[in-house]
Structure 1
Amino acid sequence: MTRFTRAALLAGAAAAALTACGSSAASDDDAGGLTFAAVPSEQNIDPNAEYEDIIGLIEKNTGRKVTFVRSTDYNAVIEGMVSGKIDIAEFGPLSYVLARANGAKITPVAAMVEKGEAPTYHSYGVVPKDSTITSLAGFKGKKVCFVDPSSTSGYLFPSAGLQQAGVDPRTGVKPVMAGGHDSSALSVKDGKCDAGFSLQSMVDSVLPAKKELARGDLKAVWKSPAIPASPIAIRTDLPGDVRAKLTSTFTRDANKDRMVALGVCEDAASCKVTSDPSYWGYQAIDDKAFDPVRQVCAATRNDKCSKAA
């Protein structure tokens, strides 16, 4: 069995597991419950702890119990939303576009932001500190770590960057799907991959803050164009009052300052609005904001993007 066959089987198993969770959650919804799914940017975290504050805020504002479902695979979240088994999802930009393209009846309500910043972020192409690679052209023929085929900053935009550098992302490198932005960056540091892609914040702040990566362990030889920030999307067919409460929750209250004021968090330093601590909160977003992702999908002609382009 090849590595990619195993990956496909694992993705299918994850999707089945998430759908099964969603089936029980659907009856919870009839009784007033909500199901929230996400793919954390890091693999080695306790997702229930990382999302505890935002779940508490949703429950406070809606009066409904929230069941959190962690997925290790973007496809599982997409499938859960398409099947209507998930009520709220934290998507990557590409996985949101793919969910819509595959028939999910969802509405984006907010996107992650750093305080005072635009709702965009960047991906890095990284190599070990002693590597002789100086650009994406040098990735040709190398073992390259990506995050997931449905990851925007961990696969889609890097694929476009490689193509622009004259490297086919499928045949011009030896691709490895690391599964998380932390795993991709650390695999490059540890020499498991010659090069790789990861969130800028993961390399610059998240892993250094955890002392899992020292500044200078990796060199960024490429920085992506601005990528639309990851959205929160909700099921369009939820009751109107629930949709309104969820929208106001994320656009008005889901930021560290407001959550402290509401008593959800003790202080801003410990308050968590998502699994990536670099984010301060959310701001309103609409579907049009993700047109740049659709444009990159069309340009790369990636198999994942065939329905989205």
Structure 2
Amino acid sequence: MRKIFGLAMMLTSSLTVFSATAAGTPKELNLGILGGQNATQQIGDNQCVKQFLDKELGVETRLRNASDYSGVIQGLLGGKVDLVLSMSPSAFASVYLKDPNAVDIVGIAVDDKDLSRGYHSVVVVKADSPYKKLEDLKGKSFGFADPDSTSGFLVPNQIFKQKFGGNNDNKYNNFFSSVTFSGGHEQDILGVLNGQFDGAVAWTSMVGDYNTGYTAGAFTRLIRMDHPNLMQQIRIIWQSPLIPNGPILVSNKLPADFKQKVITAVMKLDKDQHECFTKAMGGTQHIGPASLNDYQHIIDMKRELTQGNR
């Protein structure tokens, strides 16, 4: 009987050790990539990140490229996404409002050039159009990016409501002839170029050389793709106040020890493979310290918008 009991204890102990090991080191890491941009380019831009994390963590890193911002939000809430390097502040607010304990903030993207910690929503039109200011778009077609985008909807939406009244459902008291969500910033810009929209929003750092698309933003991505003369084809007619750069997020559903290894690996990626990091971020940026306070204004704005839609 003692032998049976002892064997049972040994088996139980072995299973406990096995379970702890399995729980401590997942077989894969799911890197979430926000949708709304060229999927092929985004996956390509993150291949070096995958290779780095595979080697550092000893697990398979899977790139989870969502078709829209909501896909990453639901992925973080449901445990299907473990890490996001470039998260929309508004999308983070959506996660936080549904589950304040779902993720930890690893840091914030900081511009390498001037150390700024923010970016701007801008309205762009075709360079050869007659529109010089926002008011000139009265009665014209307008494009937003994604409902969970900060610069692509949340911030300009609030400002447009204050400026024109109404909301996006009634085209801001019919100031615009139409209001459409294109799905992303790049789609907005391309929509302006091809005549789908008279004006549309995009994001940019507004730091550095205009002709190169500034240091970070949707312009730089399109220029790198196949629009080298983009900045000569468009004109910026409005810009928002500074918006905090997106947070780098890690899921709290990861085992604590492994989560810390992920954080350490991301910091090492920024320091040791900075060119790879900036490629994935879509601009010349590095990681700076951040806390919930950096995004409280965005969270409050998102809460107000959500409650207003009920």
Q: TM-score, normalised by structure 1?
A: 0.77
Residue 294 of structure 1: CA displacement? 2.2
Residue 240 of structure 1: CA displacement? 1.8
Q: Pick from 183, 187, 192 the counterpart of residue 188 of structure 1.
A: 192
Confirm or deny: 8 A CA contact 2:109 2:245 kept in the other structure: yes
Which position in structure 1 is the counterpart of 2:96?
Answer: 100
In 2, Cα distance between the equivalents of 1:215 and 1:179? 21
Q: Can you list the C-alpha shifts for 1:184-227, whole angstroms capped at 9, x where unaligned?
A: 01111221101000112446533234442432311111111111
Which position in structure 2 is the counterpart of 1:82?
Answer: 77
Q: Pick from 66, 74, 80 the counterpart of residue 71 of structure 1.
A: 66
Which position in structure 2 is the counterpart of 1:290?
Answer: 295
Structure 1 unpaired stretches of 5+: 1-26, 261-267
> Residues 203-222 of structure 1 correspond to what in structure 2 (within 5 A)?
204-212=219-227, 213-222=229-238
The 3 A distance-change label for structure 1 pair 238 and 202 is closer
Which position in structure 1 is the counterpart of 2:136?
Answer: 138
In 2, Cα distance between the equivalents of 1:188 and 1:43? 17
Confirm or deny: 8 A CA contact 2:127 2:235 kept in the other structure: yes
Partner of 2:116, secondary structure, is: coil
Which position in structure 2 is the counterpart of 1:162?
Answer: 160
In 1, Cα distance between the equivalents of 2:109 and 2:60? 23
Largest Rg, 1 or 2 = 2
Residue 167 of structure 1: CA displacement? 4.9
Residue 30 of structure 1: CA displacement? 6.8
The 3 A distance-change label for structure 1 pair 253 and 277 is same
Structure 2 unpaired stretches of 5+: 1-21, 205-215
The 3 A distance-change label for structure 1 pair 217 and 156 is same
Which position in structure 2 is the counterpart of 1:16?
Answer: none
The 3 A distance-change label for structure 1 pair 292 and 139 is farther
The 3 A distance-change label for structure 1 pair 169 and 43 is farther
CA RMSD of aligned residues (A): 2.7
> Residues 221-236 of structure 1 correspond to what in structure 2 (within 5 A)?
221-236=237-252
Point out the structure with the larger helix share: 2
Amino acid at match of 1:178: S
In 2, Cα distance between the equivalents of 1:62 and 1:149? 34
The 3 A distance-change label for structure 1 pair 304 and 119 is farther
- Most deviating of 220-229 and 125-134: 125-134
The 3 A distance-change label for structure 1 pair 67 and 44 is closer
Residue 42 of structure 1: CA displacement? 2.2
Amino acid at match of 2:116: A
Task: Indicate yes or no: 2:259 matched with 1:243.
Answer: yes
In 1, Cα distance between the equivalents of 2:28 and 2:111? 30
Amino acid at match of 1:115: D
Confirm or deny: 8 A CA contact 2:219 2:230 kept in the other structure: no
Residue 125 of structure 1: CA displacement? 0.8
Amino acid at match of 1:254: L
The 3 A distance-change label for structure 1 pair 74 and 144 is same
In 2, Cα distance between the equivalents of 1:177 and 1:292? 24
The 3 A distance-change label for structure 1 pair 149 and 194 is same
Confirm or deny: 8 A CA contact 1:146 1:155 kept in the other structure: yes
Taking every aligned residue pair, what percent have the same amino acid on both sides?
A: 21
Q: Can you list the C-alpha shifts for 1:30-68, whole angstroms capped at 9, x where unaligned?
A: 743211111156225333321112222222332222111
Residue 69 of structure 1: CA displacement? 0.9
In 2, Cα distance between the equivalents of 1:207 and 1:57? 25
Residue 273 of structure 1: CA displacement? 4.1
- Most deviating of 115-124 and 160-169: 160-169
Residue 145 of structure 1: CA displacement? 0.9
Amino acid at match of 1:80: G
Residue 83 of structure 1: CA displacement? 1.6
